[in-house]
Structure 1
Amino acid sequence: MKVIGICGSPRKGGNTEYFTKLTLDVLEKENIETEFVGLRDKNISECTGCYACVKERECIIKDDFQEIFNKMLKVDGIILSSPVYHASITPKLKSLLDRAGFLCRWISNEMVEENKNYDWKGTAFSRKVVAPITVARRTGHTFAFSQLLLWATVNDCIIAGSNYWNMAVAGSGGQVNAEDDKEGIGIMEHLGHNMAYIIKQLNK
């Protein structure tokens, strides 16, 4: 059993990284292998909508996407975390998810003629456990959090929640002060335990 935490923050050692690693630490204590994947130094271009993946079964844009996508394929769970920028997730995380969403669908399905309906066979991410995390100075979480939820649900994933939305408040004035959000810490710890429980149930 393994979970990766994909952090969309461009800041090294920032607040979003703190909460991502905190959740991964809980999973480690639950005897689930984890890996932190920061996008800060990764080269990930945006999806061009070329639909080459329908035929090729791979993304023809060659950059760091392939390495991360392959990690996503091999794990039981994925944490998707982002700071909130103008009520949205970061561009690099959005680019990763756009391309991953296209490719995971066309690995498992064929495109049909225009006048026919789809009978989807799931995706390459079907029943993977996904947990979104958003971090903001004050507000804007809801839309960014929804972006991550919408991506996970359209790709046939199972959502892990907590005893409150997986959101944290930090970063006023650019501070790295995640440890001050005690409620947020408790939410992420509970999220880690919930994610571990779901993965263990699925692996019985």
Structure 2
Amino acid sequence: MGFISPLTYLCTMKVVAFLGSPRPNGNSEQMVRRVFGVLESNGIKTEMIRVGGKPLHGCLACMKCFETRNGQCANQTDDLNDYVEKMREADGIILASPTYFADVSAEMKALIDRTGMLTRSGGDFLRYKVGAAVISARRAGSTHAFDTINHLFLASQMIVPGSSYWNMGLGRLEGEVSEDEEGMDCMETLGMNMAWLLHRITE
């Protein structure tokens, strides 16, 4: 499974992944599960949350988060504040999305926009957390979607580990990504690099 830290059994770190796909057991989820397998073998707890297909409103540009500066979105008609709390508690964050017209899904974009506003107005609570983007695609457009997620991470002062290639996998039908050997190997390496980085940060 790759990197195994001597601190494995003392670790209390956690990585939370948010899935922008509405498909249960879809290609994005299978890629994240490969990353999770490596993280868990290194003693890092994991949690997966599906936002795709669920009600998640875009940013209303009300700017109330800059008035309250409490890290909470004023729009409480959906679960965004619960998602943000999960991010606060985590040491690492994975945002995974299928490619929709050369970008992330609508729910993932809403999560990015609103979380970005909250961390900037709420004391930069994502600073120094480890962030990784995971993208599935039928054929193309994945690089743009990958950049969309990384823009949030970098603007939020997060630490972004690399892998053997960009974190992308090819597949249209459920399970097809498992046939993308290079893509799945990339997920394995991403898990190793995230585990290594998380352990180094806590040393």
TM-score (norm 2): 0.90
| 1:104–1:36 CA distance, 2 compared to 1 (3 A) | same
C-alpha offsets along residues 3-35 of structure 1, whole Å, 9 cap, x if unaligned?
011110111111111101111121001110000
What letter matches 2:87 in structure 1? M
Q: Would the aligned equivalents of 1:12 and 1:40 in 2 still touch at CA under 8 Å?
A: no
> What are the residue-to-residue correspondences of 1:87-102 with 2, within 5 Å?
87-102=102-117
- How far apart, in 2, do the equivalents of 1:155 and 1:97 lie? 11
Q: Secondary structure of the equivalent of 1:124?
A: coil
- How far apart, in 1, do the equivalents of 2:51 and 2:184 lie? 22
Query: Which residue of 7, 17, 24 corresponds with 1:5?
Result: 17
Q: Would the aligned equivalents of 2:52 and 2:105 in 1 still touch at CA under 8 Å?
A: no
Q: Secondary structure of the equivalent of 1:81?
A: strand
- How far apart, in 1, do the equivalents of 2:21 and 2:195 lie? 24
The answer to whether residue 138 in structure 2 is matched with residue 137 in structure 1 is: yes
Q: Secondary structure of the equivalent of 2:131?
A: strand
Q: Shift of the alpha carbon at 1:41?
A: 4.9
Q: Which runs of 5+ in 2 are unaligned?
A: 1-12
The answer to whether residue 93 in structure 2 is matched with residue 78 in structure 1 is: yes
- How far apart, in 2, do the equivalents of 1:136 and 1:150 lie? 19
- How far apart, in 2, do the equivalents of 1:175 and 1:14 lie? 5
Q: Would the aligned equivalents of 1:5 and 1:24 in 2 still touch at CA under 8 Å?
A: no
TM-score (norm 1): 0.89
The answer to whether residue 80 in structure 2 is matched with residue 65 in structure 1 is: yes
User: Once the two structures are aligned, what percentage of the paired residues are identical?
Assistant: 36
Runs of 4+ in 1 over 2 A off after TM superposition: 40-43
Q: Would the aligned equivalents of 2:130 and 2:194 in 1 still touch at CA under 8 Å?
A: yes
What letter matches 1:43 in structure 2? P
- How far apart, in 2, do the equivalents of 1:178 and 1:8 lie? 16
Number of matched pairs: 188
- How far apart, in 2, do the equivalents of 1:21 and 1:48 lie? 33
Q: Would the aligned equivalents of 1:161 and 1:191 in 2 still touch at CA under 8 Å?
A: yes
- How far apart, in 1, do the equivalents of 2:201 and 2:55 lie? 33
Q: Which runs of 5+ in 1 are unaligned?
A: 109-122
Q: Shift of the alpha carbon at 1:43?
A: 2.3
Aligned to 1:24: 36
